[in-house]
């Protein structure tokens, strides 16, 4: 049986099909799209644009931008203020009570504070700026800011016109000293620029071991050389170069002939080849008389 | 002649540009189908070998035609497309608009496959009444040995026949050089001698056909980088090396035309075309059986043949239709009847071809191999029939294999487009690849003035 409704002609007839040829426009478009730079743009530029464009449009409004900023700030704040991140205590180890106070004063932290707001490197620099601190270790340990400090050891007392200061072995200023009697264990130095030659002073003091019962201190003269001051106002003028050896020789002389026990207020060693002794007037008188007697004696 | 020279040189430059860019499109504008291939040059194409016209001319004959398998790695087909042609008849364009659309279709599809935009195209077509001329030129060698300028002068000395009104030169290939008493030289440069002669093969076609094709291609935003005759390209791809060397004819049986090209010593020496082809067979079937052309084409492809046997009387072919008349829609014919329609037309085509071969003096060649290619050559029994009409040594040829060619395009119907690949990669030296004789070249006048100055002072 043949169907009553005939099939439509153009479905069967291949010549009536749509022409497969592209239109001039689509041909040109395809050739344009095949350009290498267009392909790169389509592969990279368009996805980037699609991703960034909604954000750009959304944030082009100032109110939205500020709202977003506020939201971010609030989120940040909430996280920072969580108790897990709070630092409530600061413990300072390895420092004297005065230094501990000084560190607390210097840092001036208002506890409790969020650990996000603590800049450990800056705090450490601030602490190490203090004169008495050699170096400091800082760490945050479950709500406690631990500061381990190693103090500088005082080695010398430096007398200035307006007071006394403690110096460490390198000549670095540590602290003010109220009275010399507070640190009688430390040797005394004085004079302008004495702190710069602190190491030389310490070496001299070590050499001067046998004299230490009589030693009063060292005086820097003209920021250039040392004078060693003993009790009874006795003074040893040391040379600028190689003062240790000069001092060693003097000590050897003293041990052999007990030079320093005599009435010689000034021993001038500034020129190594020609040490000069300055006698006190009384001693000079005695010496002159003795010489006179001798000369009389010889005359006789 | 000067215009031709410039136009061809411009196309050579286009081709050079395409080589540098690395891709070129090849278009076969045939009567039954239009094919586009996109060729990518990869591997190092030594520019001195392929691009420079001077270097091309350095190996006349040795580098020119033969399928050089070593070179095959240098190119690859990355896009291929074929479509039923519209607006082309007898191998030339009949409806510009339709042809342009068909070209657009194939170029777009091939570009899509290649994912590459091509700007230069080499086109080939089979029609436009090709005519072959053999030219002879002779000149005295200026210096003791043959120089580039001597070659230029011997080409210029070729006697130019009257081409007729509105005809253009498609190929002009020097095929042989004679130096004094020696003939068969492929490259006489540098050899000593006094008298230089050359044989040149000139192929002309109608100017309008080339212009129409150039216009269609330009409308598709492509630049024309070369035009070639399909008969020549089929020969390039279908003849094997010894056939090209010893002498063979390639018969490209296309849809609207049947191209004939004769090769000897690896040069084409004759090309012609018979304006009959497979479409005429289909049209005969359509008329004889009263069926639409598309169905006639299908019946030809499915059941066609040229040699009837007793078996064919019993093989009935159903001819369906949708006329609504039961008797007409349920007809049956035997295959013998179908062969009875096909065979006279095929014989006519082959006899016409025979006439062309005779006119060309094919029987004087050392080897008389005949290679049948093209779509219509696929009719069963075609080689047997051709053997009776054309000569004893007939074989069916298929184009050589090249890298990346889709399986669907390896049939003998695609021999001319495959030949176009070879033509694009290694064009044979043509006349315009050589120098212009300095006497005719005004740009050299300063050089000559300087030479005069140097000679006389």
| Rg of chain A in Å (alpha carbons) | 45
| A149 Cβ contact list (under 8 Å, min separation 6) | A92, A93, A94, A95, A99, A103, A127, A133, A135, A136, A137
Query: What is the reported pLDDT for A12?
Result: 55
Answer yes or no: is pLDDT of A38 > 60: yes
B45 plus B149 within the same structural domain: no
Tell whether omega for the bond before B148 is within 30 degrees of 0, i.e. cis.
Answer: no
Which residues of chain A neighbour B324 with C-beta distances below 8 Å? 6
Q: Which domains does chain A have, with CATH numbers?
A: 83-151 (3.10.20.310), 154-291 (3.40.50.11690)
pTM above 0.90, yes or no: no
Between B7 and B248, name the one with better pLDDT: B248
Selected residues 33-92 of chain A with any CB under 8 Å from a CB in chain B: 34-35
B152 plus B298 within the same structural domain: no
B80 plus B124 within the same structural domain: yes
B8 plus B77 within the same structural domain: yes
- The DSSP secondary structure of A212-238, one letter per residue, reads TTTEEEEEEETTTEEEEEEGGG-EEE-
B3 plus B66 within the same structural domain: yes
Distance CA A179, CA A181 (A): 5
- How is residue A23 annotated by DSSP? P
The pLDDT tens digits of the residues spanning B295-329 come to 899 899 989 889 888 888 888 888 887 788 888 88
3-state secondary structure of B203: strand
* Distance (Å) of CA B333 to CA A49, B281, B290, B326, B346: 66, 17, 12, 16, 20
Query: Can you tell me the mean pLDDT for B188-215?
Result: 88
Which residue do the tokens 């320093």 mark?
Answer: A260
3-state secondary structure of A113: strand
Whether residue B101 is contained in a domain is answered as: yes
Distance from CA of A11 to the nearest CA of B (A): 12
* CA dihedral of A180, A182, A186, A187, whole degrees rounded to 10: 10
Distance CA B357, CA B262 (A): 8
Whether residue B339 is contained in a domain is answered as: yes
Q: Which of B26-30, B96-100, B146-150, B200-204 has the lowest mean pLDDT?
A: B146-150
As given in the structure block, the two tokens for residue A284 are 């000079």
* Distance (Å) of CA B124 to CA A42, A94, A226, B210, B419: 36, 97, 110, 10, 10
Whether residue B387 is contained in a domain is answered as: no
> Cβ distance B147 to B193 under 8 Å?
no
Count chain A–chain B contacts defined by CB atoms under 8 A. Answer: 34
CA A82: distance to chain centroid?
A: 33
CA A224: distance to chain centroid?
A: 29
Answer yes or no: is pLDDT of B77 > 50: yes
Answer yes or no: is pLDDT of B28 > 70: yes
Q: Which of A154-158, B203-207, B288-292 has the lowest mean pLDDT?
A: A154-158
- The DSSP secondary structure of B95-138, one letter per residue, reads -HHHHHHHHHHHHHHHHHHHT----EEEEEES-S--EEEEEEEE
Overall domain count for chain B: 3
* CA dihedral of B153, B157, B162, B166, whole degrees rounded to 10: 10
Domain with residue B319: its CATH number is 3.30.420.40
> Cβ distance B122 to B24 under 8 Å?
yes
Sign of the dihedral defined by the CA atoms of residues B424, B426, B430, B434, in that order: positive
Query: Can you tell me the mean pLDDT for B46-69?
Result: 39
Whether residue B392 is contained in a domain is answered as: no
Which residues of chain A neighbour B101 with C-beta distances below 8 Å? 19, 21
Q: Which of A160-169, B69-78, B105-114, B239-248 has the lowest mean pLDDT?
A: B69-78
B452 plus B331 within the same structural domain: no
Query: Can you tell me the mean pLDDT for A126-155?
Result: 83
3-state secondary structure of B302: helix
Q: State the residue range of the domain holding B152.
A: 131-205
Whether residue B393 is contained in a domain is answered as: no
Tell which of B312, B329, B344 closes a domain.
B344
B161 plus B66 within the same structural domain: no
DSSP H or E run through B152:
helix B148-156
Q: Which of A100-109, B181-190, B353-362, B433-442 has the lowest mean pLDDT?
A: B433-442
Distance CA B249, CA B255 (A): 19
B423 plus B323 within the same structural domain: no
The pLDDT tens digits of the residues spanning B149-170 come to 888 888 888 888 888 888 888 8
Percentage of chain B beyond pLDDT 70 is 90
Which of B83, B117, B322 shows the shortest C-beta gap to A34? B117
Selected residues 6-25 of chain A with any CB under 8 Å from a CB in chain B: 6, 9, 12, 14-15, 19-22, 24
B455 plus B319 within the same structural domain: no
Answer yes or no: is pLDDT of B349 > 90: yes
Q: What is the mean pLDDT of chain B?
A: 84
Whether residue B245 is contained in a domain is answered as: no
> Cβ distance B288 to B246 under 8 Å?
no
The pLDDT tens digits of the residues spanning B95-149 come to 998 899 999 999 999 999 998 899 999 999 988 889 999 888 888 888 888 888 8
Distance from CA of B416 to the nearest CA of A (A): 23
Tell which of B145, B179, B205 closes a domain.
B205
Provide the ipTM.
Answer: 0.77
B216 plus B140 within the same structural domain: no
Query: What is the reported pLDDT for B45?
Result: 47
- Chain B residues with CB-CB distance to A under 8 A? 83, 101-102, 104-105, 107-108, 111-112, 115-117, 220-221, 294, 322, 324
B108 plus B140 within the same structural domain: no
Query: What is the reported pLDDT for A192?
Result: 81
φ, ψ for residue B3, nearest 5 deg: -60, -45
B303 plus B425 within the same structural domain: no
Query: What is the reported pLDDT for B87?
Result: 85
Which of A14, A20, A30 shows the shortest C-beta gap to B111? A30
Q: What is the mean pLDDT of chain A?
A: 83
Distance from CA of A52 to the nearest CA of B (A): 29
Tell which of B318, B344, B370 closes a domain.
B344
Closest CA to B172 of B268, B35, B48: B268
Query: Can you tell me the mean pLDDT for B37-45?
Result: 75
- Residue B441 pLDDT grade (very low, low, confident, very high; cuts 50, 70, 90): low
Whether residue B167 is contained in a domain is answered as: yes
């Amino acid at each position: 049986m043949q169907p009553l409704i005939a099939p439509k002609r153009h479905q069967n007839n291949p010549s009536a099909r749509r022409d497969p040829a592209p239109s001039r426009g689509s041909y040109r478009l395809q050739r344009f799209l095949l350009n290498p730079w267009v392909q790169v743009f389509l592969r990279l530029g368009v996805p980037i644009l699609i991703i960034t464009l909604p954000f750009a449009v959304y944030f082009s409004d100032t109110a939205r931008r500020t709202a977003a900023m506020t939201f971010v700030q609030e989120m940040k704040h909430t996280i920072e203020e969580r108790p897990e991140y709070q630092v409530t205590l600061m413990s300072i180890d390895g420092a004297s009570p005065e230094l501990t106070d000084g560190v607390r004063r210097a840092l001036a932290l208002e506890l409790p504070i969020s650990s996000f707001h603590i800049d450990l490197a800056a705090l450490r620099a601030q602490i190490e700026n203090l004169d008495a601190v050699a170096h400091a270790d800082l760490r945050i340990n479950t709500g406690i800011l631990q500061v381990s400090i190693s103090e500088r050891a005082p080695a010398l007392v430096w007398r200035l016109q307006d007071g006394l200061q403690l110096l460490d072995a390198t000549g670095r200023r540590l602290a003010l000293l109220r009275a010399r009697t507070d640190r009688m264990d430390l040797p005394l130095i004085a004079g302008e620029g004495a702190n710069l030659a602190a190491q030389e002073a310490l070496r001299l003091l070590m050499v001067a071991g046998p004299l230490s019962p009589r030693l009063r201190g060292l005086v820097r003269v003209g920021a250039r050389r040392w004078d060693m001051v003993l009790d009874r106002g006795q003074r040893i003028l040391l040379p600028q170069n190689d003062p240790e050896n000069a001092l060693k020789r003097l000590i050897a002389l003293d041990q052999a002939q007990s030079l320093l026990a005599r009435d010689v207020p000034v021993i001038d060693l500034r020129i190594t080849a020609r040490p000069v002794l300055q006698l006190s007037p009384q001693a000079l008188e005695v010496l002159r008389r003795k010489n006179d007697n001798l000369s009389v004696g010889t005359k006789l | 002649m000067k215009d031709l020279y410039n136009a061809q040189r411009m196309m050579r430059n286009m081709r050079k540009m395409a080589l540098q860019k690395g891709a070129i499109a090849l278009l076969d504008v045939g009567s039954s189908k239009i094919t586009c291939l996109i060729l990518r040059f990869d591997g190092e194409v030594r520019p001195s070998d392929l691009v420079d016209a001077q270097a091309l001319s350095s190996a006349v004959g040795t580098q020119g035609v033969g399928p050089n398998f070593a070179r095959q790695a240098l190119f690859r087909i990355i896009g291929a497309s074929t479509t039923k042609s519209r607006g082309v008849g007898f191998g030339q364009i009949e409806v510009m608009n339709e042809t342009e659309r068909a070209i657009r279709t194939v170029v777009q599809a091939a570009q899509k496959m290649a994912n590459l935009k091509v700007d230069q195209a080499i086109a080939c077509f089979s029609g436009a009444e090709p005519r072959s001329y053999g030219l002879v030129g002779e000149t005295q060698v200026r210096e003791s040995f043959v120089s580039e300028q001597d070659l230029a002068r011997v080409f210029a000395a070729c006697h130019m026949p009257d081409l007729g009104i509105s005809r253009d030169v498609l190929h002009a290939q020097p095929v042989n050089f004679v130096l004094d008493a020696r003939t068969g030289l492929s490259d006489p440069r540098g050899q000593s001698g006094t008298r230089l002669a050359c044989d040149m093969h000139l192929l002309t076609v109608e100017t309008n056909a080339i212009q129409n094709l150039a216009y269609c291609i330009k409308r598709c935003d492509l630049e024309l980088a070369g035009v070639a005759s399909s008969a020549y390209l089929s020969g390039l791809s279908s003849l094997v090396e010894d056939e090209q060397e010893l002498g063979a004819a390639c018969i490209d049986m296309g849809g609207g035309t049947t191209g004939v090209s004769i090769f000897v010593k690896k040069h084409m020496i004759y090309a012609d075309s018979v304006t009959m082809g497979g479409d005429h067979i289909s049209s005969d079937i359509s008329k004889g059986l009263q069926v639409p052309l598309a169905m006639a084409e299908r019946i030809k492809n499915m059941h066609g043949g040229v040699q009837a046997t007793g078996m064919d009387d019993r093989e009935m072919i159903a001819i369906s239709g949708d006329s609504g008349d039961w008797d007409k829609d349920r007809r049956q014919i035997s295959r013998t009847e179908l062969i009875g329609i096909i065979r006279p037309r095929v014989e006519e085509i082959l006899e016409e071809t025979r006439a062309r071969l005779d006119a060309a003096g094919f029987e004087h060649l050392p080897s008389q191999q005949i290679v049948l290619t093209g779509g219509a050559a696929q009719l069963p029994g075609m080689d047997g029939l051709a053997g009776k009409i054309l000569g004893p040594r007939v074989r069916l040829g298929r184009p050589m294999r090249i890298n990346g060619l889709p399986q669907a395009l390896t049939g003998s119907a695609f021999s001319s487009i495959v030949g176009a690949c070879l033509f694009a990669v290694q064009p044979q030296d043509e006349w315009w690849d050589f120098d212009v004789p300095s006497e005719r070249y005004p740009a050299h006048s300063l050089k000559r003035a300087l030479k005069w100055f140097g000679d006389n002072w």
